[in-house]
């Protein structure tokens, strides 16, 4: 009798899919993930989290192949099995963005930032969607958004730790030791230390010592990178020392955490004006005036820029 060929386990098929994905063989990767999903669904050890990962991995292959519709379907299944899975949110957001469904992309990017505010892909995506939606719908674009889901605190803590662990770079991937993993939520001790350093920075601003204040705010953010006002305060200092691109970056960061932050919008508008990005300056001022229609400083700056 011919010897029966031993079938591969779902985990072996998943690994084969991962290897194909790494070498850019996305069609082959999709086929392996298809088989892995079938094997896992047949097995007695069906685990929702394992299945969610397989669907999310297959979604990544579809995304790379430009099959955004199938990517979204797989991410939907993955998120039903494992709610608020960061990778699935980011992959679905990228697919929505590619299909120009910017509102839905914005929601997914913002949801991912609730879980971990340090995710660069989510920060950049939020900024791109904000710009695209402002251009498409005008300054009142937020009114047309579907509701953004609130991530429960218990889920947030669990997933931010998982995301931080998953984001830990391998030593071979580090560049001169500068690659940093995403950090989980700061501890109470870090929050207190950050607040003390921020207050020292505020005192230096009052004395007009902006460069020293920047150092204090930077130290503060190392302890607590989730404090919006530290970014807007440091942006003010960057404006004072004419480091306009750094000011824009800090305001971008603040606005990923609070899209309606008036100080961040105004300071970014100021920086854009100095960088001669007049369209971006006007967009920020219009967004600000939607929040505070009688903001005198914003109205004055808008008149100045429109004359140009």
Please state, in angstroms and rounded to a whole number, the distance separating the CA atoms of residues 90 and 105: 9
> In whole angstroms, what separates CA 10 from the centre of its chain?
31
Residues 134 and 193 in one domain: no
Which of the listed residues 164, 199, 214 is the one where a domain comes to its end?
164
Q: What average pLDDT does the chain have?
A: 85
pLDDT for position 76:
96
**Structural domain tally of the chain?**
2
Nearest to 180 by CA among 222, 238, 220, 214: 222
Q: Which two tokens stand for residue 127?
A: 């900024």
Q: How far apart are CA 77 and CA 11, in angstroms?
A: 19
pLDDT tens by residue, 74-104: 999 999 999 889 999 999 999 999 898 999 9
Please check whether residues 119 and 210 belong to one and the same domain. no
pLDDT greater than 80 at residue 20:
yes
Closest CA to 28 of 17, 36, 39, 43: 17
Interatomic CA distance for residues 73 and 237, integer angstroms: 46
Q: Are residues 109 and 200 in the same domain?
A: no
Q: In angstroms, rounded to a whole number, what is the distance separating the alpha carbons of residues 34 and 218?
A: 47
17 pLDDT tier (thresholds 50, 70, 90) = very high
- Give the residue numbers spanning the domain of 117: 10-164
Instruction: Supply the angle between the helices 48-64 and 86-98 in degrees, to the nearest 10.
Output: 30
CATH code of the domain containing 45 = 1.25.40.10
Contact assessment for residue 262 and residue 292, using Cβ atoms and an 8 Å cutoff: yes
Q: Is residue 183 part of a domain?
A: no
Going by pLDDT thresholds of 50, 70 and 90, the confidence category of residue 1 is very low
Q: What pLDDT score was predicted for residue 104?
A: 95
Average pLDDT over every residue of 144-154: 84
């Amino acid at each position: 009798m011919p010897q029966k060929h031993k079938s591969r386990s779902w985990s072996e098929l998943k690994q084969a899919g991962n290897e194909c994905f790494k070498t850019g063989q996305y069609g082959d990767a999709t086929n392996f993930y298809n088989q892995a999903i079938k094997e896992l669904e047949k097995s007695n050890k069906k685990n929702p989290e394992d299945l969610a990962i397989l669907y999310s991995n297959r979604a990544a292959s579809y995304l790379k192949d430009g099959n955004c519709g199938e990517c979204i379907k797989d991410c939907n299944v993955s998120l039903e099995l494992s709610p608020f899975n960061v990778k699935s949110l980011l992959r679905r957001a990228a697919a929505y963005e590619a299909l120009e469904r910017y509102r839905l992309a914005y929601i997914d990017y913002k949801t991912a930032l609730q879980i971990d505010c340090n995710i660069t892909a989510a920060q950049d995506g939020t900024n791109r969607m904000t710009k695209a939606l402002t251009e498409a719908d005008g300054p009142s674009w937020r009114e047309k958004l579907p509701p953004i889901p609130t991530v429960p605190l218990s889920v947030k803590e669990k997933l931010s730790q998982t995301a931080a662990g998953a984001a830990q770079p391998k030593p071979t991937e580090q560049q001169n030791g500068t690659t940093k993993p995403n950090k989980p939520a700061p501890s109470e001790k870090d929050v207190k230390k950050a607040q003390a350093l921020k207050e020292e920075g505020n005192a230096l601003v009052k004395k007009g010592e902006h460069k020293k204040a920047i150092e204090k705010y930077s130290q503060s953010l190392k302890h607590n990178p989730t404090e919006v006002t530290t970014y807007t305060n440091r942006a003010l200092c960057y404006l004072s020392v004419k480091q306009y691109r750094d000011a824009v970056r800090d305001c971008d960061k603040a606005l990923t955490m609070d899209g309606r932050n008036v100080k961040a919008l105004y300071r970014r508008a100021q920086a854009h004006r100095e960088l001669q990005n007049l369209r971006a300056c006007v967009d920020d001022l219009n967004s600000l005036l939607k929040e505070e229609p009688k903001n005198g400083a914003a109205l004055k700056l808008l008149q100045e820029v429109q004359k140009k």
